[in-house]
Amino acid sequence: MHLEKTIFKIENKGGNLGTKSNSIVTSYFMINPSKFGIYTIGAIFLFLIGCQEDIPDIEERPVISLETITVDSDLFTFIKNTSANDGRVDNLIDDYNCGELVYPVTVTVNGEQLTLTSDDGISQVQAIFDRSTADYDFVTFTYPISFLNDDHTIDTIASEADFDALIQECERDFQLGALTCLDFTYPLFMITFDQAKQTSDNFRLETDKQLFDFMVALAADNEGLELNQQEIASLLYPVEVTLEDGEMRDVANGTELETLLEAIAADDCFTPDGLILDDSAFRALLDADDFVIKSYIEGTNDRTVEFSTNNVTFNTDGTLQVDNGGTNSSGNWSLERDYSSLELDLDFNDTTLNGVFDRDWDLIQLNDLEFDIRFRDQFLTLRRVRATTPPELNTLFASAGWQVSNYTTAASGDQTILFNQRVFTFSSNGELRAAINNAGVEGTWQVTIRDQFDLSLAMTFEDIPPFTQIATSWQVLNYNDDQITLELFNAGTLEATLVFDKL
């Protein structure tokens, strides 16, 4: 049977926010019978018929519609997650995704005690981090502390051990994935129809908590029921939303709302500055070579010497091996998106390593040579053990001409002018030429590995100033398709920096 859309005028009678309303809200809306069962339409009709008036002409008709939301739909999940409390806003302080701190809270940041009264205190913590010259920053709490969770409940934590347990539980069980880039403009209006009892209710929702509780209760009421016995919820459209950039937008129907929320969920706009969310570069680094533990800091204790001889291999099948001078250990590794960061999950079979490194580590820094990971007050740096020189670096040097864009020495400062307009050509056969117009200076070049870790560019030139100044072995700090940065050290002290830009 073909069913046409039916247009009604509704008087919502209800009351306390988030409960059935006692006030009267009058509006026209359209019900699409194809989205409701026959009994649903009949019940809603009976619910509305007592307050129906003459239907306005189509030109005057408000574009208001009512559409169902089933608990197993993507839209249900998106709406629920949008109304969930976002626990990541203060991750700089607590590194806890599943809840945000309830203020006031007393913290000690790199030895300096602060009492924070709102999220504005995050900038105070960041300022202390910025002033620090140490490699790592530390935040400790004065307990007890409380967290407002994703489901809008509150947990009070009595000790650091309890907080550690809470973090582990969050990492195992966190499924909400709060969507932070969109806010609903309240109130929202929901109508429910119980297909088993043939009864309807209407609700006015004023806050994220009320909307979240409504969605959770709806799911609980429908658990284990067949579709034709479930309680159906319908959202009254249009609804107004505010995007992350402050733009306010009217959403006309469920399809449009689902499309918008789906795009936000895929984009995950909550990406704090400096956090790494793309795993492709990290996987490429892990696949390239073995690693050694360059640094391991636990709280204020430097435990690097205990593990500095460990050689770690990340296999592409997700397994890993650790060789400690003949004593071998094994385990598994994986990369996961942790909503606001990229996590390296390590699981060791060996009891010694399992007690230390068996963590879900946040990736905080990554380059071609090493990466830094963190679990609360533990900081681990793994450095690449190079087996061969990377062929792409040799190819990069030989691919084009290069000019010096920066040459700075500790003794004399900026000396870039010494090499102005000189074009350096690195030939694939190891020959090197620095030329201006038709005049040039000849030399050689070679990329090698220094001390298993560092890449080194060795250059020689004829005994002609100023080229004799750079005729030495330079450490390759970093490189990309357009630039190569080199550094010169003497007994651990930086003496000079040399930067080549591709022409």
Instruction: State percent of the chain over pLDDT 70.
Output: 78
Alpha-carbon span 46 to 48, nearest angstrom? 5
Instruction: Answer yes or no: is pLDDT of 503 > 90.
Output: yes
Least confident among 25-34, 189-198, 313-322: 25-34
Does 41 or 145 have the greater pLDDT score?
145
Domain 280-385 listed as CATH 1.10.260.40? no
Separation of alpha carbons 427 and 395, rounded Å: 10
Lowest mean pLDDT among 29-33, 93-97, 314-318, 469-473: 29-33
Confidence of residue 61 (pLDDT cuts 50, 70, 90): very low
What is the domain partition of the chain in residue ranges? 6-69+186-238, 91-173, 280-385, 391-502
Strands 188-194, 105-109: pairing is unpaired
CATH class, range 391-502: mainly beta
Dihedral sign for Cα 207, 179, 150, 118, please: negative
For the cut 80, the answer to whether the pLDDT of residue 88 exceeds it is no
Confidence label for 270 from pLDDT (cuts 50, 70 and 90): very low
In this structure, the number of other CB atoms found within 10 A of the CB of residue 151 comes to: 17
What letter does residue 144 receive in the DSSP assignment? -
Location of structure tokens 């709406």 = 79
Backbone angles phi, psi at 212, to 5 degrees: -60, -45
CA distance 255 to 259: 6
Across 320-335, average pLDDT: 84
| SS3 of residue 4 by DSSP | coil
**Res 172: pLDDT:** 54
Dihedral sign, Cα of residue 93, residue 98, residue 104, residue 105? negative
Q: Over 50: is that where the pLDDT of 39 sits?
A: no
Q: Which residues pair with 258 in a beta bridge?
A: none
Comparing 98 with 237, the larger pLDDT belongs to 237
Average model confidence (pLDDT) for the chain? Answer: 79
Report whether pLDDT(93) > 80.
Answer: yes
- Per-residue confidence band for 498, with pLDDT thresholds at 50, 70 and 90: very high
Question: When comparing pLDDT for 477 and 16, which is higher?
Answer: 477
Nearest-angstrom CA–CA distance, 139 and 125: 9
Burial of 207 (C-beta count, 10 Å sphere; 0-12/13-18/19+) = middle
- Predicted confidence at residue 268, as pLDDT, reads 52
Would you place residue 267 in the very low, low, confident or very high pLDDT band (cuts 50, 70, 90)? low
Structure tokens at 405: 């864009």
Residue with the bigger pLDDT between 239 and 232: it is: 239
Query: In the predicted model, is pLDDT for residue 152 greater than 60?
Result: yes
* Residue 1: band (very low, low, confident or very high) from pLDDT cuts 50, 70, 90: very low
- Pairwise CA distance, residues 104 & 121, whole Å: 10
Buried b (16+ CB within 10 A) or exposed e, 235-244: bbbbbebeee
Does the structure show a pLDDT above 50 at 500? yes
The model's pLDDT over 371-401, given as tens digits with 9 standing for 90+, comes to 888 887 788 999 888 767 778 889 999 999 9
Scored b (16 or more CB within 10 A) or e, 402-429 reads: bbbebbeeeeeeebeeebeebbbbbeee
Which of 32-41, 99-108, 200-209, 477-486 is the least confident region? 32-41
- Residue 278: its pLDDT value, please? 63
How far is CA 109 from its chain centroid? 23
pLDDT of residue 341: 66
Mean pLDDT confidence for 257-282: 65
pLDDT at 309: 80
Q: List the single range of 231-245, 289-303, 341-355, 431-445 with lowest mean pLDDT.
A: 341-355
Q: How far apart are CA 98 and CA 417, in angstroms?
A: 55
Least confident of 61-70, 327-336, 359-368: 61-70
Q: Which helix (H) or strand (E) holds 407?
A: strand 401-409
Whole-model pTM: value is: 0.52
- Give pLDDT tens digits for 116-141: 999 889 889 988 888 876 656 788 89
For the ranges 288-302, 333-347, 429-443, the lowest mean pLDDT is seen at 333-347
Q: Give the least confident one: 69-83, 297-311, 347-361.
A: 347-361
For residues 471-487, average pLDDT? 92
Instruction: Give every CB contact of residue 434 below 8 A, 6+ residues apart in sequence.
Output: 419, 422, 423, 424, 425, 440, 441, 443, 461, 467
pLDDT of residue 86: 79
pLDDT for residue 310: 84
- In the predicted structure, residue 63 carries a pLDDT above the cut 70: no
Phi, psi for 481 (deg, rounded to 5): -65, -20
